Amino acid sequence: MADSKHEDTFKVVDRRLFGEDGELRKDVVEQERRNEEAAEKKAAAQAQEKAKAAAASKPAPTQTAPSPLAANADTQGAAGNGAALADVTPEDAAAEAQDSGEMNPTSRSFQMLIDFLTRNAAAMLGGMADPRTGQAFVDLEGAREVIDMLDALREKTRGNLSKDDDNLLIEVIGSLKLTFMEISKVAAEQMAKKAKAK
């Protein structure tokens, strides 16, 4: 009996987001687009299933004299069977999924946006040294604007984020606001000391 050698093989997958030129790799962008399209299709399909279930669970209407409006609705229903299902947009599907307790998938792009804004705000709050002087610089007005942007982002995306994305946004905003208040207090004390020294 001949021994069959079993060779272990492995596959190397490049998971870097950026290429050698510093640009976002095309296959990463394509994968993100495919993931988003798949999520939209899934949400739309779930919304259609819910609409079908809701339509099936409605009690049959009682027989009354037909009105012109009812006749018009009957002709529209016959002309476009399932027209109500075709009118469901991805936004409606996402809203229905949110209402039913289903969450949107976590978005890597959204997390990268939050990270970018957070780093900018932290740099303006003294988290980064000025390259010319080597001293930390503080730009309270700029930091306030970035924090306000994050607040606006949270307000405009309320109900459309996954639990992880929403928690990240809440945590970042809270941390930045606390740091902003502490640094504002220290800056005000230093200004008061300078005023007294004059």
- pLDDT tens, position by position, 53-100: 766 665 554 444 444 444 444 444 444 444 444 455 555 555 555 554
Provide long-range contacts, Cβ within 8 A and 24+ apart, for 177-180. Answer: 177/147, 179/122, 179/125, 180/125, 180/140, 180/143, 180/144, 180/147
Instruction: With beta carbons less than 8 A apart as the criterion, state whether 154 and 194 touch.
Output: no
pTM: 0.47
pLDDT: is 88 or 50 the higher one?
A: 50
Q: Yes or no: say if 81 and 118 are a contact pair by the CB < 8 Å rule.
A: no
Q: What are the pLDDT digits (tens) for 13-46?
A: 666 767 777 777 777 778 777 888 887 888 777 7
Q: What residue type is 72 in one-letter code?
A: N
